């Protein structure tokens, strides 16, 4: 027979156990909660990585110094997690209070214990067999807001997953994937919106940027990156070429909370290396767009390459930079030039080459580099630097606010580009545009 004190002790232990269990679950729940306020102040949490670029400014800068030039060579692997998918691995994982959230190239999403690599959950998208990614299966990551993570898929769906379990909260079809549309970008969560641009510019899509309600999945706005009839910029397209104009937006943009402006870059017009049949500047291809985050309305735009015939997507991450009273936005462009703009107005402040450039040797009145006639693709082929792969590509830059140095992954790229004479008038599969050829040359 137990004594009264023994029974009381059991009750006390039971109460303590329940309290510890409640504390455990509250801690897990707290880990999954990422508010808009936390995203705004992500620089105050250097132990975490809350957005694709680490912060809304696109800087990919960290104040952590545990890994440095003195110990980099002595680093050893502590754990390895295999996604079990083959192909390009371009994801940037998020890290939130000790949990790592990532994606695989086949649209799987996963959560891991960042300290041990132990899997917490995995979601696998069952993709249809008729998806059409132009350049291999790719997914660049997730966004997180509240208790959900958000994924764009290769079959053009936007999905919200429970951050604790990986269970689907909502699933929305953005557009018909059989027409060449897909999502490869990591979404950007702003306020209560999930924002992402579409891929598929090689297939003659009409590009767009979407915003979805984070709670319900309802689409709140869509901005078409190729203007339709009656919209500003439509006059920069010949005939009906706008219907297959391309201009995808497949890299995550930046956000300025002081002006409530999104800065999203766009890709090449379609077809990518033949301008016949689409005379004009082809707005808003190869352009940086400043968009009101609440409404999706365009505030200003700056086009880096008008009437692009070399596949120089301007989808490199734009980086917000503040130098004293100067509020700037900079981009190391695929076309070989480094651009600095006024963030409020889009005015070009400078454009300087940061690699070998042969396609331009003059600038217009704004200072924008102009293409030489001799750089236009022909049926015989023209040697141009940079080639279609660009001086840089999707790889993200970094800006160090302590030194004001901008770092970019650059490489030489010289190619001969040949284009057929006949214009494209309808969408096609990648590589089915009367067989244009691109050949890599060693220089």
Give the whole-angstrom CA distance, residue 322 versus residue 301: 20
SS (H, E, C) the chain: CCCHHHHHHHHHHHHHHHHHHHHHHHHHHHHHCECHHHHHCHHHCCCCECCCCCCCCCCCCCCCCCCCCCCHHHCCCCCCCCCCCCCCCCCCCEEECCEEEEECCCCEEEEEECCCCCEEEEEECCCCCCCCCECECCCCCCEEEECEEEEECCCCEEEEEECCCCCEEEEEECCCHHHCCECCCCCEEECCEEEEECECHHHCCECEEEEEECCCCCEEEEEECCCCCCCCCHHHCCCCHHHHCECCCCCCCEEECCCCEEEEECCCECCCCCCCCCCCCCCCCCEEEEEECCCCCEEEEEECCCCCCCCCCCCCCCEEEEECCEEEEEEECCCCEEEEEECCCCCEEEEEECCCCCCCCEECCCCCEECCHHHCCECCCEEECCCCCCCCCCCCCEEECCCCEEECCCCCCCEEEECCCCCCCCCCCCCCCCCCEEEECCC
What are the b/e assignments for 399-418, b being 16+ CB within 10 Å?
beeeeeebebebeebbbbbb
Chain length of the chain: 443
Spacing of C-alpha 392 from chain mean position: 15
Active site residues per annotation: 311
Q: In the structure encoding, which two tokens stand for residue 2, read together?
A: 């137990």
Spatial CB neighbours of 359, under 8 Å, sequence gap ≥ 6: 310, 335, 336, 371, 372, 375, 384, 385, 386
Q: Residue 286: how many CB atoms within 10 A of its CB?
A: 30
């Amino acid at each position: 027979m137990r004594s009264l004190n023994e029974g009381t002790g059991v009750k006390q232990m039971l109460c303590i156990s329940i309290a510890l269990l409640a504390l455990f679950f509250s801690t897990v729940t707290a880990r999954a909660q990422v508010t808009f306020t936390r995203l705004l102040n992500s620089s105050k949490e250097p132990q975490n990585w809350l957005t694709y670029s680490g912060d809304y400014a696109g800087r990919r800068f960290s104040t952590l110094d545990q890994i440095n030039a003195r110990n980099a060579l002595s680093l050893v692997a502590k754990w390895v997690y295999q996604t079990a998918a083959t192909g390009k691995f371009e994801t940037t994982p998020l890290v939130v209070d000790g949990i790592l959230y990532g994606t695989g190239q086949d649209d799987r999403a996963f959560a891991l214990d960042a300290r041990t690599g132990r899997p917490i959950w995995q979601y696998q998208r069952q993709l249809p067999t008729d998806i059409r990614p132009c350049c291999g299966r790719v997914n660049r990551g997730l966004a997180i807001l509240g208790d959900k993570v958000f994924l764009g898929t290769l079959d053009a769906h936007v999905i919200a997953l429970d951050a604790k379990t990986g269970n689907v909260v909502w699933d929305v079809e953005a557009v018909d994937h059989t027409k060449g549309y897909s999502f490869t970008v990591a979404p950007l969560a702003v306020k209560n919106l999930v924002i992402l641009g579409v891929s598929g510019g090689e297939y003659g899509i009409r590009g767009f940027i979407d915003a979805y309600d984070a709670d319900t999945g309802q689409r709140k706005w869509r901005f078409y990156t190729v203007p339709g009839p009656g919209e500003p910029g439509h006059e920069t397209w010949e005939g009906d070429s706008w219907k297959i104009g391309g201009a995808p937006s497949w890299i995550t943009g930046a956000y300025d909370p002081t002006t409530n402006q999104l800065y999203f870059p766009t890709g090449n017009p379609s077809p990518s290396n033949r301008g016949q049949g689409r005379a004009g500047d082809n707005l808003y291809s190869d352009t940086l767009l400043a968009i009101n985050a609440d409404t999706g309305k365009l505030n200003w735009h700056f086009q880096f390459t008008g009437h692009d015939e070399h596949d120089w997507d301007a989808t490199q991450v734009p980086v917000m930079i503040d130098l004293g009273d100067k509020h700037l936005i900079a981009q190391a462009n695929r076309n070989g030039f480094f651009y600095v703009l006024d963030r409020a107005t889009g005015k070009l402040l400078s454009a300087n080459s940061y690699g070998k450039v042969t396609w331009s040797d003059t600038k217009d009145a704004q200072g924008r580099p102009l293409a030489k006639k001799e750089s236009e693709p022909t049926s015989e082929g023209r040697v141009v630097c940079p080639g279609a792969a660009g001086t840089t590509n999707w790889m993200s830059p970094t800006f160090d606010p302590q030194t004001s140095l901008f770092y970019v992954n650059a490489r030489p790229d010289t190619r001969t580009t040949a284009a057929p004479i006949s214009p494209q008038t309808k969408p096609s599969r990648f590589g089915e545009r009367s067989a244009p050829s691109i050949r890599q040359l060693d220089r």
